[in-house]
């Protein structure tokens, strides 16, 4: 019996939604799971079929994981939006901080940039300050 791999990149599928681009090579996405499930059903022994409750249990687990991933994506978007709102409130405020040498600086925030490591305030004199512990904000 010849069985085509569900993860084989040379499948004859013409459905563009069945592509697995953007997923980890070690993970199984929703479409791959469905392909495996169909292959299992096609190739099972007709005299001794598998229990359908196992299929439904696997499907429910995959659905739960997929929903958790979507929730994480939405939470990331929400956190980014919240960071932008907070950053907007800092522009024009006076901040003071002490650097690693012990010198104290004070200046007005001209702009805020947000990157993967956090927010960075640029003062009017061009000094860049990490927004976080040790930063005092005043009007």
- Rounded CA-CA distance 64/70 in Å is 10
Q: Picking from 9-13, 99-103, 126-130, which range would have the lowest pLDDT averaged per residue?
A: 9-13
List domains and CATH numbers for the chain. Answer: 29-43+53-89 (no CATH), 91-138 (2.30.30)
Residue 25 has pLDDT above 80, yes or no: no
What backbone phi and psi angles, to 5 degrees, belong to 61?
A: -65, -45
Tell me the pTM. 0.45
Mean pLDDT to the nearest integer, 40-68 = 80
**Are the C-beta atoms of residues 93 and 139 closer than 8 Å to each other?**
yes
The pLDDT-based confidence of 28 (bands split at 50, 70, 90) is: low
- Cβ-Cβ contacts under 8 Å for 86 (sequence gap 6 or more): 119
């Amino acid at each position: 019996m010849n069985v085509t791999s569900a993860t084989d990149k040379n499948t004859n599928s013409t459905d563009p939604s069945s592509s697995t681009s953007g997923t980890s090579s070690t993970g199984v996405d929703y479409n791959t799971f469905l392909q495996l499930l169909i292959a299992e059903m096609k190739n099972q022994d007709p005299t001794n079929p598998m229990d359908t409750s196992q299929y439904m249990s696997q499907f429910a687990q995959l659905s739960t994981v997929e929903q958790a991933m979507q929730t994480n994506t939405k939470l990331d978007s929400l956190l980014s939006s919240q960071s932008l709102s907070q950053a907007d409130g800092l522009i024009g405020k006076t901040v003071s901080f002490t650097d690693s040498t012990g010198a104290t600086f004070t200046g007005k925030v001209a702009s805020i940039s947000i990157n993967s490591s956090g927010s960075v305030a640029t003062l009017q004199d061009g000094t860049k300050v990490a927004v976080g512990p040790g930063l005092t904000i005043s009007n």
